[in-house]
């Protein structure tokens, strides 16, 4: 099947094509085959059906390079006596009352609604980490069932950690390995797997080395949390007499296939080591503030030449909100309004994120030969959107509700803000029921502890 998407403005995110007024994209099956001005395109492809978005911006689908779909279950959840530190948040609340209580039914319904919400706010690809130590084996298969039903492009991983036990850590490694064997048939697959570990304070060096060896063998990459709070830095210095990144370097863990998320407390010395090994970074500015982790040194990482993308962390879903926050928070932190300009932030959510997840040849820009992951956006703003300010308007004032249509892998999965693949109302109703049951379970556990 072939079709043309006509636009008012075509934001390609490809330096060769740039921003095209009255532009058009030609799609054949699941690939983009041509890009240019509509007048030329329609003459060269006169018999192809036109999808009319001539009053909208057409752009690449946004990418979230770090999220937790199950996190949607916790939105609005009351937290009595909320801990003041990040490690306290994990030990006192998140681990015992969220991660440890998740089951496959909760995981499925959360993944389904999170996928719907991502699509409705313009995210077409995401790299997800599932943290549910008592839901394995088979938890990733359940998550994949939900994401494939909705039709979103997904890189799924299970957080292997020894915090429960060494045996549970081995089960986590196996969960990733079996999923990778099943799904990593092609880089173009809608669903793929990735290895994942937690941190240096929940995983032993021998455990980390084993994951590194498997990642080398299966070419699947490794996703991890790095220095989300200051606890990991302190722990590594006390236990190993090294900073976390120095420990990773010593055991031969680092490489261009490592996706380090958070990096809030990463030092200048560690930034240089990460650059040395071309480690990719995913930045979560909103959730870092929510848990009191701090503000990551992203401008310094970008200046060093690291590839940095953006993620939601599951705390929120809308990548437009993440972009706006990334645009603002570093200006305040550095007392410099020139840092993190809008065009840099937009790159982080598209072409940078494609590099972060190892898919730069397939997604992240509207380029001939790449997969047709495309969104249409109709800004509802009081001021004009034009060629000079389009990116700034989207980054600073954009909302996920501006997204009108979504194509993933050449398939129209949302039209006029209506999800076409699953029953959105039914999915959300079921999730609400599951969330109530989950919250009741937490209250009972808290009352009995």
Q: In 10 A of CB 287, how many CB atoms?
A: 22
Q: How would you classify residue 409: left for phi > 0, otherwise alpha for psi between -120 and 50, otherwise beta?
A: left
Do 335 and 411 reside in the same domain of the chain? no
* Domain end position, chosen among 325, 356, 387: 356
Q: Nearest to residue 318, comparing CAs of 109, 62, 112, 147? A: 62
Q: What is the pLDDT of residues 252-290, one digit of tens each?
A: 999 999 999 999 999 999 999 999 999 999 999 999 998
In a domain, 362, yes or no: no
C-alpha 272/C-alpha 301 separation (Å) is 9
Percentage above 90 pLDDT, the chain: 92
C-alpha 121/C-alpha 317 separation (Å) is 8
Do 248 and 154 reside in the same domain of the chain? yes
Q: Nearest to residue 118, comparing CAs of 72, 73, 86? A: 72
The CATH number of the domain where 146 resides is what? 3.20.20.140
Cα–Cα–Cα angle for 148, 310, 54, nearest 5°? 70
Assigned token pair, 202: 């929940």
In a domain, 18, yes or no: yes
Do 275 and 238 reside in the same domain of the chain? yes
Do 303 and 334 reside in the same domain of the chain? yes
In a domain, 338, yes or no: yes
Does pTM top 0.95 for this prediction?
yes
In a domain, 432, yes or no: no
Phi, psi of 360 (to 5 degrees): -65, -25
Do 188 and 284 reside in the same domain of the chain? yes
Do 80 and 207 reside in the same domain of the chain? yes
Do 178 and 54 reside in the same domain of the chain? no
C-alpha 66/C-alpha 366 separation (Å) is 22
Q: What is the pLDDT of residues 11-42, one digit of tens each?
A: 999 999 999 999 999 999 999 999 999 999 99
Assigned token pair, 152: 């979103």
Do 322 and 378 reside in the same domain of the chain? no
The pLDDT of residue 1 is above 90: no
Do 87 and 141 reside in the same domain of the chain? yes
In a domain, 429, yes or no: no
The CATH number of the domain where 20 resides is what? 2.30.40.10
Query: Is residue 292 very low, low, confident or very high in pLDDT (cuts 50, 70, 90)?
Result: confident
Do 111 and 192 reside in the same domain of the chain? yes
Number of domains the chain is built from = 2
Burial string for 409-447 (b: 16+ CB within 10 Å, else e) reads: bbbbbbeeeebebbebeebeebbeebbeebbeebeeeee
Tell the residue number behind the tokens 């302190």, with chain if given: 234
C-alpha 319/C-alpha 282 separation (Å) is 13
* Domain end position, chosen among 356, 388, 407: 356
Do 43 and 77 reside in the same domain of the chain? no
C-alpha 65/C-alpha 389 separation (Å) is 26
The pLDDT of residue 82 is above 90: no
| Residues facing 196 on adjacent strands | 223
Phi, psi of 270 (to 5 degrees): -70, -35
In a domain, 363, yes or no: no
Task: Determine how β-strand 2-11 pairs with β-strand 19-21.
Answer: antiparallel
Say what the pLDDT of residue 83 is: 74
What angle do the packed helices 319-334 and 390-397 form, to 10 degrees?
90
Q: What is the pLDDT of residues 332-348, one digit of tens each?
A: 999 999 999 999 999 99
Do 171 and 236 reside in the same domain of the chain? yes
The pLDDT of residue 447 is above 80: no
Q: What is the pLDDT of residues 99-113, one digit of tens each?
A: 999 999 999 999 999
In a domain, 442, yes or no: no
- Residue 9 contacts residue 58 (beta carbons within 8 Å): yes
Phi, psi of 402 (to 5 degrees): -75, -20
Q: How far lies 61's CA from each of 46, 155, 160, 234, in Å?
A: 26, 15, 29, 39
In a domain, 261, yes or no: yes
Q: How far lies 236's CA from each of 212, 231, 248, 255, 339, in Å?
A: 19, 9, 11, 20, 31
The pLDDT of residue 80 is above 90: no
Q: What is the mean pLDDT of the chain?
A: 96
- Residue-number span of the structural domain to which 124 is assigned: 62-356
- Centroid of chain to Cα 131: 15
| Residues facing 11 on adjacent strands | 19
């Amino acid at each position: 099947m072939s079709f043309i998407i006509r636009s008012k403005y075509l934001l390609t995110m490809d330096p060769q094509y740039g921003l095209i007024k009255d532009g058009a994209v030609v799609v054949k099956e699941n690939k983009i085959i041509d890009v240019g001005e509509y007048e030329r395109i329609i003459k060269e492809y006169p018999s192809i059906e036109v999808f009319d978005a001539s009053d909208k911006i057409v752009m690449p689908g946004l990418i979230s390079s770090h999220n937790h779909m199950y996190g949607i279950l916790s939105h609005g959840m009351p937290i009595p006596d909320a801990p003041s530190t990040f490690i306290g948040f994990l030990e006192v609340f998140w681990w015992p009352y969220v991660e440890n209580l998740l089951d496959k039914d909760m995981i499925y319904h959360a993944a389904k609604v999170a996928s719907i919400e991502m699509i409705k706010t313009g995210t077409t690809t995401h790299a997800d980490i599932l943290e549910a130590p008592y839901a394995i084996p088979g938890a990733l298969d359940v998550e994949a069932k939900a994401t494939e039903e909705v039709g979103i492009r997904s890189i799924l991983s299970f957080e292997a950690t020894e915090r429960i036990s060494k045996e549970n850590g081995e089960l986590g490694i196996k969960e990733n390995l079996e999923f990778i064997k099943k799904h990593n048939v092609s880089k173009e697959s809608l669903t793929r797997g990735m290895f994942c570990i937690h941190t240096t304070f929940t995983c032993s060096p021998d455990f980390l080395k084993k994951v590194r060896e498997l990642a080398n063998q299966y070419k699947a990459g490794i996703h991890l949390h790095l220095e989300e709070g200051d606890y990991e830095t302190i722990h590594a210095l006390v236990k190993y007499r090294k900073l976390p990144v120095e420990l990773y370097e010593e055991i031969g863990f680092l490489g261009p296939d490592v996706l380090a998320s958070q990096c809030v407390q990463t030092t200048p010395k560690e930034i240089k080591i990460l650059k040395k090994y071309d480690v990719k970074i995913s930045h979560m500015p909103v959730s870092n503030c929510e848990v009191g982790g701090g503000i990551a040194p992203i401008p310094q990482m970008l200046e060093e030449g690291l590839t940095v993308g953006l993620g939601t962390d599951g705390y929120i879903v809308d990548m437009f909100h993440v972009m706006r926050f990334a645009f603002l928070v570093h200006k305040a932190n550095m007392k410099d309004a020139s840092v993190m300009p809008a065009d840099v932030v937009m790159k982080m959510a598209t072409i940078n994120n494609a590099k972060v997840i190892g898919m730069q040849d397939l997604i992240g820009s509207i380029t001939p030969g790449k997969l047709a992951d495309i969104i249409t956006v109709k800004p509802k703003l009081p001021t004009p959107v034009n060629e000079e300010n389009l990116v700034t308007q989207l980054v600073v004032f954009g909302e996920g509700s501006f997204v009108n249509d979504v194509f993933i892998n050449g398939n129209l999965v949302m039209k006029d803000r209506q999800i076409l693949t699953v029953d959105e109302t039914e999915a959300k109703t079921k999730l609400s029921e599951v969330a109530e049951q989950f919250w009741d379970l937490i209250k009972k556990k808290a009352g009995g502890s």
